[in-house]
Structure 1
């Protein structure tokens, strides 16, 4: 990827470079660009296949490179600074702001810097955020800083399966992207093992004044995604989900069992606390139906009837 990036930069720079030096020889161009003659020839052959949408003869970059002389007759605008249209700038800003709001996907400080530059270039800069808002670091910022500086962290972490928040001291190893979520892979001192902490479930993070010291085997090992597999010692509930509740597969330890004829999905859900799962299922309304075990079915039904009875008592 690094070689491709370097070549892209070289190709983009070649057009204004050659346009400013009409008639330059291949040998001189290769020497000044720091490439071999064969690489220069390959670059030129690719360059003349690039251009503006439509890609007709009048829209492609036109460079003559015969008889050892190079001349640019059509630059396709590559020799001019890029100007975004209002619609293009708006789309880019929306995408950048979406990335800022997705914990762990990108460094938000870099994304905010890009946003400011695009707004300034577009002449429509938004009001600057308060200084306090800029100064406040999110938990994700602190975690990234800990990984980058190899420092231990104290984190408050929400475990969805247990509906609880715990404070842990961890030694960061790396940040990994699994599916659509970013995770901190770290050695958890309490558990004495490697754990994956999802960024959007880290409520608070504090950088400690001590180096991160995960055991060397843990540092060298590949990320173990089997940690996402359900714990066989935990109970499993069978539920049915409406199509509008399919998002739950991304947030809870669930495994699809089969598609039903009405578009609903049957799934198995691992849980540690029946009380927690009852609250979750009741909060989903009619989008989720519990099928088994019978104790959970009865618990959800009795809790719902109890809530309804209380509502009837206070209703005018």
Structure 2
């Protein structure tokens, strides 16, 4: 996509996000008057309205789509799909977005970096003094570490890693026989035979806290085979725990970011999704972070663990500070 086309798409998205609340506040407004207010041609506004008419959440049921009624040359929004006010970020939200974009801009291998930088510049400009807060985002070790690990792989040496495993929230030490370095979705990975688990593993470079190149040569066994990462790093298998959750409207994005085995409509606006997870401990932390918009339905072990942790949190809030 060219720079000009990318900018036009970004401008149109911003216009569409503000168009629904604008029309809600002016039911029955003439298309010509609205176009003049918004600084676009009548043809462009009609094209925007046609696009809005087919916008909705995955599944695209009639209760998810934006709806409108025309009376001659006048338009009225009859269903807003929850987009009932222009987007306004709180100071905390703006700062969080700035930090996230700065981190994304620093990440090696990210595609569309110019689009990230343009978005960051716009938000920093809108945030004003807040964007100048003393928050520095850098990933100083990633590029250098990626190069160092790649060099170690090329030299054919075994490595001793200090590695953080997010799924279990623990740091371990292990000796590995490197096989290759690869990039998947903008992240660097070391693929190696792990002597601790006697299997091929992918280690995210940004989670390698430290490593030492050993004198002995890397010697992955003949049975070691590289992973097929064409569809991503995580490959659900039948032996992994199956988690079932009920998702409210604001949490439906989970079904787009995580591979689900089934997604079906529940009561009202709820969706019920089932997905495989590598570790119930990770699932517990992730689902608790989503708040009350998500209800865990299974497995029973995960339900009990989340209920127990939630009870502990409530007890902590109920206990007066000493």
Taking structure 1 as the reference length, the TM-score comes to 0.47
Q: Of the two, which has the highest radius of gyration?
A: 1
The TM-score normalised by the length of structure 2 is 0.46
